[in-house]
């Protein structure tokens, strides 16, 4: 099905990326390693944003909500219940999923820009709650003094940045692999169909709203896991970790990466974090300007994101493609709002998904 | 004698009516698109809806399919009141639809399109829980349907890259994958070449009799070749309904539909 050159290109990129990711803690200093760990954590939240924005067609600014729920839950579990990583990750996932379950009725009936507004409100309310509910969250001071994590029962606590980075890498890898496998089942097919043309999918008897709700809760669980990893990577949590700037950066990263691609989401988020944390160190005070420049540049150079660009590249390699244009190739920033009900169906055909 | 017989047949058909619409109304602002229309489609019947542009034919199909809700009246299907059911529920209980502009999922391959369309017929997630069940219950029948409509060679082609005619064929395969008891066809011949229309007519004629058809079509040759009953709409009202031969000669129809009936 998939043309061979593209498959091999993808495998080579994946293997190279994995090797580089494993080699990181041996090639840079401890501080940079911990920065990489936090980038991985944000990358995983970015993946959950991409799942909603690109695959489910629900552009979101509110994934900081389940992310925060997972982080605070994991911190409390680490401080009072168990230092075992498996327990913390599961608690984080559960908290994220529960948070999403509570907010899902607000989101799944809306489409497009309305989703952005609702999720923005959810994110902001979460931050406010986190800063006000000091008896649980420590208020704006945050929670510190979180004991070192032991990945599984019987292991020694992870004391070095290198060990914490590797732990983060393993969990992120497992979660993403599980997601990719899940999306390759027919479930992913139903999701792509729903995004392509929602009314048509309903007309074939599908409970699109139900699919979206399940996806939203799943994305919440993924963000919750990321929250748990934040506790491990940073050993500290405060409302500042979940502010609007974080939501905006995540969405920006996902759009830059190509909204419908998981790999693109990680690359995009990493790019955005790199610009914010490292490049701006060379030009202090210019971080927003640099981010803006990055966004304008990608919008012009890679209208379908980094992932879209790599698809184009693969299409060039595979010279025998049957007509290059089609709705899937239409330029756009990658955010595809679903049309609200009653709008013509044709508007729903704007998609920039990866095609098989 | 014949009149008596047809009357008797009509009364026996009332009992086995698959679809009945009673005085359905649909308004768009001050425009009454469908105005108290009664419609009955018997089990296995081929029923055609004709009428000039803007007569309310597509709106009536939308009301039956559930894409829009009625402002008045009731719709019954297979013995149950479906007036308040959404389009997804109606699809699951056996109402299939082919749209005026072929509605396929552009980023899915032709085969994937048929698979998604036949999903519920195969039992949903539970029905295709293993790879072998998925293959047996969904993939192979979908492939067979693509062959039947003549698209076996393009099974792996993304639907966005299919021609208009191919998308029409694909949509028919998709509709059949849902194993509908009632198939709503909205101008299936629109935009097709002569050869394609011929193939479409063959496909429709081959449909098994356990599938009833409600067809909206401007190509009257197709209508008269296929339909058992023809209903004429004009300005949202039902003008006449009867066998093709009666309708062809009815003066009321000629007046309402003068430019098309020859």
A16-25, A88-97, A245-254, B21-30 — most confident range: A88-97
- Give the pLDDT confidence score for residue A74 in this predicted structure: 93
Q: Report the interhelical angle of A244-257 vs A262-274 (nearest 10°).
A: 130
- The answer to whether A196 contacts B107, with C-beta atoms less than 8 Å apart, is yes
Cross-strand pairs, B151: none
Mean pLDDT, chain A, whole residue set: 81
- Give the pLDDT confidence score for residue B190 in this predicted structure: 85
Closest approach of chain B CAs to the CA of A11, in angstroms? 22
- Give the pLDDT confidence score for residue A318 in this predicted structure: 53
pLDDT lower than 50: segments of chain B: 1-3, 5, 7-8, 10-14, 261-262
Q: How far is residue A350's CA from residue B30's CA, in Å, rounded to a whole number?
A: 33
- Give the pLDDT confidence score for residue B25 in this predicted structure: 92
Closest approach of chain A CAs to the CA of B92, in angstroms? 5
Show Cβ contacts of residue A188 under 8 Å, excluding neighbours closer than 6 positions. Answer: A55, A182
> B-chain residues within 8 Å CB-CB of A353?
107
B120 touches chain A (CB under 8 A): yes
Q: How far is residue A203's CA from residue A195's CA, in Å, rounded to a whole number?
A: 14
- Give the pLDDT confidence score for residue A308 in this predicted structure: 67
- The answer to whether B119 contacts A196, with C-beta atoms less than 8 Å apart, is no
For residue A342, is pLDDT > 70?
no
B119 touches chain A (CB under 8 A): yes
- Give the pLDDT confidence score for residue A294 in this predicted structure: 79
- Contact yes or no for A318/A338 (Cβ under 8 A): no
Q: How far is residue A258's CA from residue A304's CA, in Å, rounded to a whole number?
A: 6
- Residue B183's φ and ψ, nearest 5 degrees, are -110, 120
> B-chain residues within 8 Å CB-CB of A200?
99, 103-105
Give the closest of A187, A192, A207 to B108, CB-based: A192
For residue A222, is pLDDT > 90?
yes
Tokens of A192: 């792509």
- The answer to whether B105 contacts A197, with C-beta atoms less than 8 Å apart, is yes
- Give the pLDDT confidence score for residue B261 in this predicted structure: 45
> B-chain residues within 8 Å CB-CB of A344?
none
- Residue B26's φ and ψ, nearest 5 degrees, are -140, 125
A91-100, A189-198, B238-247 — most confident range: A91-100
Average pLDDT on A308-326 reads 53
Sign of CA dihedral B1, B6, B11, B12: positive
Q: How far is residue A234's CA from residue A70's CA, in Å, rounded to a whole number?
A: 14
- The answer to whether A204 contacts B108, with C-beta atoms less than 8 Å apart, is no
For A:45-84, CB contacts with B below 8 A are none
- Give the pLDDT confidence score for residue B196 in this predicted structure: 86
- Reported as half-sphere exposure (CB side, CA atoms, 13 A), residue A135 has a value of 0
Closest approach of chain A CAs to the CA of B100, in angstroms? 12
Q: What confidence tier does A344 reach under pLDDT thresholds 50, 70, 90?
A: very low
DSSP B130: S
- Give the pLDDT confidence score for residue A355 in this predicted structure: 36
Show Cβ contacts of residue A354 under 8 Å, excluding neighbours closer than 6 positions. Answer: A258, A260, A261, A307, A311
B126 touches chain A (CB under 8 A): no
Model ipTM value:
0.80
- Contact yes or no for B114/A166 (Cβ under 8 A): no
**Nearest chain A alpha carbon to B121:** A205
A197 touches chain B (CB under 8 A): yes
> A-chain residues within 8 Å CB-CB of B117?
204
- Give the pLDDT confidence score for residue A311 in this predicted structure: 65
A274-284 confidence digits (pLDDT tens): 888 777 777 77
- Give the pLDDT confidence score for residue A351 in this predicted structure: 36
Average pLDDT on A143-167 reads 85
Give the closest of B86, B107, B138 to A192, CB-based: B107
> By three-state DSSP, how is residue A81 classified?
coil
Give whole-number Cα distances, A96 to A45, A56, A234, in Å.
11, 18, 19
- Give the pLDDT confidence score for residue A341 in this predicted structure: 38
Closest approach of chain A CAs to the CA of B99, in angstroms? 9
Interface test with B, best of A204, A206, A318, A338 (most B CBs within 10 A): A204
Tokens of A117: 């507004």
Q: What confidence tier does A348 reach under pLDDT thresholds 50, 70, 90?
A: very low
Q: What confidence tier does A321 reach under pLDDT thresholds 50, 70, 90?
A: very low
**Nearest chain B alpha carbon to A354:** B107
- Give the pLDDT confidence score for residue A313 in this predicted structure: 60
- The answer to whether B108 contacts A353, with C-beta atoms less than 8 Å apart, is no
Cross-strand pairs, B216: B49, B186
For residue A352, is pLDDT > 70?
no
Interface test with A, best of B98, B106, B127, B179 (most A CBs within 10 A): B106
The larger pLDDT score, comparing residue A259 to residue A315, is at A259
> B-chain residues within 8 Å CB-CB of A318?
none
Closest approach of chain B CAs to the CA of A138, in angstroms? 44
Q: What confidence tier does A225 reach under pLDDT thresholds 50, 70, 90?
A: very high
- The answer to whether B87 contacts A202, with C-beta atoms less than 8 Å apart, is yes
3-state SS record for A304-351: CHHHHHHHHHHHHHCCCCCCCCCHHHCCCCCCCCCCCCCCCHHHHHCC
Ranking A68-72, A81-85, A299-303, B99-103 by mean pLDDT, the lowest is A299-303
For residue A194, is pLDDT > 60?
yes
Chain position carrying tokens 């949903």: B124
């Amino acid at each position: 099905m998939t043309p061979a050159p593209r498959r091999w290109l993808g495998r080579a990129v994946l293997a190279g990326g994995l090797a580089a990711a494993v080699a990181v803690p041996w090639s840079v200093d401890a501080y940079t390693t911990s920065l990489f760990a936090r980038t991985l954590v944000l990358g995983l939240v970015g993946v959950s944003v991409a799942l909603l924005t690109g695959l489910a067609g629900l552009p979101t600014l509110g994934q900081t909500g389940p992310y925060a729920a997972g982080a605070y839950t994991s911190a409390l579990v680490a401080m009072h219940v168990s230092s075992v990583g498996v327990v913390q990750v599961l608690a984080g996932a559960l908290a994220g999923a529960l948070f999403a379950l509570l907010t899902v009725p607000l989101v799944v009936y809306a489409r497009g820009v309305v989703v952005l507004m609702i999720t923005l409100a959810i994110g902001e309310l979460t931050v406010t709650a986190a800063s006000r509910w000091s008896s649980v969250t420590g208020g704006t001071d945050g929670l510190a003094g979180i004991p070192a994590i032991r990945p599984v029962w019987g292991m020694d606590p992870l004391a070095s940045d290198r060990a914490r980075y590797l732990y983060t890498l393993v969990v992120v890898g497992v979660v993403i692999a599980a997601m990719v496998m899940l999306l390759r089942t027919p479930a992913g097919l139903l999701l792509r169909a729903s995004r392509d043309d929602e009314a048509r999918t309903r007309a074939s008897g599908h409970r699109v709203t139900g699919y979206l709700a399940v996806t939203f809760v799943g994305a919440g669980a993924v963000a919750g896991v990321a929250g748990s990893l934040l506790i491990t990577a940073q050993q500290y949590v405060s409302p500042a970790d979940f502010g609007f700037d974080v939501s905006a950066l995540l969405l920006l990263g996902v759009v830059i990466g190509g909204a419908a691609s998981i790999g693109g989401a990680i690359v995009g988020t990493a790019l955005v974090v790199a610009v914010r944390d490292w490049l701006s160190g060379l030009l202090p005070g210019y971080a927003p300007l640099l981010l803006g420049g990055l966004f304008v540049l990608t919008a012009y150079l890679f209208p379908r994101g980094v992932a879209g660009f790599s698809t184009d590249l693969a299409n060039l390699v595979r010279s025998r493609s049957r007509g290059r244009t089609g709705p899937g190739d239409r330029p756009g920033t990658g955010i595809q709002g679903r049309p609200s009900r009653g709008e013509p169906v044709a508007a729903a055909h704007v998609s920039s998904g990866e095609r098989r | 004698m014949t009149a008596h017989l047809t009357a008797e047949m009509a009364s026996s058909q009332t009992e086995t009516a698959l679809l009945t619409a009673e005085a359905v109304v649909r308004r768009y602002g001050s425009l009454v698109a469908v105005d108290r229309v009664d419609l009955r489609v018997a089990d296995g019947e081929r029923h055609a809806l004709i009428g000039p542009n803007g007569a309310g034919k597509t709106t009536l199909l939308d009301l039956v399919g559930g894409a829009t809700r009625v402002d008045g009246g009731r719709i019954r299907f297979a013995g149950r009141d479906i007036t308040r059911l959404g389009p997804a529920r109606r699809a699951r209980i056996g109402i299939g639809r082919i749209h005026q502009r072929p509605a396929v999922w552009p980023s899915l391959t032709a085969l994937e399109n048929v698979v998604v369309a036949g999903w519920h017929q195969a039992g949903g997630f539970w029905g295709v829980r293993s790879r072998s069940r998925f293959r047996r219950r969904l993939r192979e029948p979908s492939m067979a349907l693509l062959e039947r409509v003549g698209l076996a060679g393009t099974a792996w082609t993304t639907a966005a890259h299919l021609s208009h005619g191919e998308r029409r064929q694909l949509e028919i395969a998709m509709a059949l994958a849902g194993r509908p008891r009632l198939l709503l066809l909205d101008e299936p011949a629109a935009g097709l070449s002569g050869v394609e229309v011929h193939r479409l007519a063959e496909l429709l004629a081959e449909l098994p009799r356990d599938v009833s058809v409600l067809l909206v079509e401007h190509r009257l040759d197709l209508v008269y070749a296929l339909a058992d009953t023809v209903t004429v709409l004009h300005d949202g009202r039902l003008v006449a309904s009867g066998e093709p031969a009666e309708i062809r000669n009815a003066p009321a129809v000629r007046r309402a539909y003068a430019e098309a009936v020859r």
